[in-house]
Structure 1
Amino acid sequence: MTITALSTRTRRPSFEQPAARGTSALARRVATVHPAAQPQPAASRPVAPSPVRAVPEGTEARGFVLYVGLGEDAAAADQIELARLVGELRALTARLAPSAQTHAAVALAPSGSGGRDVEVVRRALGDPAVQQAAAPEVEQGIVIDLSRKRVAIGDDIAPLTYREFELLQHIVLREGSTVGRCDIIDALWHVDADDRPNERTIDVHVRRLRAKLGGYAEIIRTVRGAGYRFDRHADVTVLASGPSPDRF
């Protein structure tokens, strides 16, 4: 972000007597300026308050969100890391408004998903101003709704636990790619978590997930010796409000 200060030039009125031309009285008159009309030094001029957007009655402004669209390739071209940029923006905020509290969230998207970076960020981080496309009506099959965190099988909602849905979502978002057990553990459990599982426990979680998917259990395929994979089928619909709900 570059802040450029633009200099302001003030033309001073001339107090010199204009050269006389002909016999015009105006030519012989000495220009005078009332003292109150003389320009004041910039430091003594009153500063007009910045206009504040009116908020609905009964509400108050509590802060703002600044969405920054900057992909890894663009950041590399600008010779800056996202972590450093976040730190600089936080430092600037702390300097301008010491009472401000900040929170940073990085939006992730599948490689090569395309689209403008800032729009990807707004959708992934749930900007309410972004108009989402209406969900298509599905009469049959299974619907994996990533935005609502639920799985519908026909007219029924699968009774998935929070962890089971996170497991399903993690694999579904990597459609066509094999997801290793260690990758699942690192993504869904904190390194110091008391319930952090081992690779065999992941197989147990997958079996429980498949049991609740009923006739669609095989949408999560086992890749022998490697992990698990999700392949799109004609009777499987995945709904999402953005390119990827993953964030950190």
Structure 2
Amino acid sequence: MTLTALPTRRPSTLRTQGATALAPRPAIAIDAPARARIAAPVARPVRVAPEAAKPAVRAVPDGTEARGFVLYVGLGEGAAAADRIELARLVAELRTLTSRLAPSAETHAAVALAPAGAGGRDVDVVRRALQDPAVQQPVAEPDSGIVIDLTRKRVAIGDDIAPLTYKEFELLQHIVLREGSTVGRETIIDALWPDEADAGRPNERTIDVHVRRLRAKLGDYAEIIRTVRGSGYRFDRHADVTVLATGPSPDRV
């Protein structure tokens, strides 16, 4: 009997190869931030429509146009000296600033003059001297007290015109224009009699006589001219006293 040897199988090798082929692939480790990046949807930029341009606010009524502006600067010579600046230099500085900010702008400067020692705020004096239309002069009503009209050079007491002489009105005007300030007798003489020779020049007693006559013609309003003992005379505004003046100061002395 003849025995034929069959080829020997290698089961161990086949099992190993089958195990290797069928074994699951090892998982790749992914950290939490990476998983979040993978899972998160891609953010697309959102286009925002631009806001509509807001209309400019106009500071003037419809149907008109702004052509410039006025800046009133109240600064007396004494205040300017305290600030260590001259009015001419201040004007030049403001013009330079305007030219730098607005090269097309045109400028005009005017200095307001007032009698030395005149009372009131500087800026109010400037506005009146430059005839600011916003500064309204009081309107005199019949029987409204005493009206000192510096333009017409007359004094009305109620419905009557006080019979003042030219010199008496000049005396009243000189004191009234220096409202709130005491006016000395010598100052009055120098102002109202500037060209008189020594012979015709009045003395301080003569000024007192003129003031007494003026007060007599002012009647019930005589005390609007107050006597400051040892100094001179003074005018203070009262509710029943109206002073009318238009244009530049009528005080030429």
TM-score by length of 2: 0.49
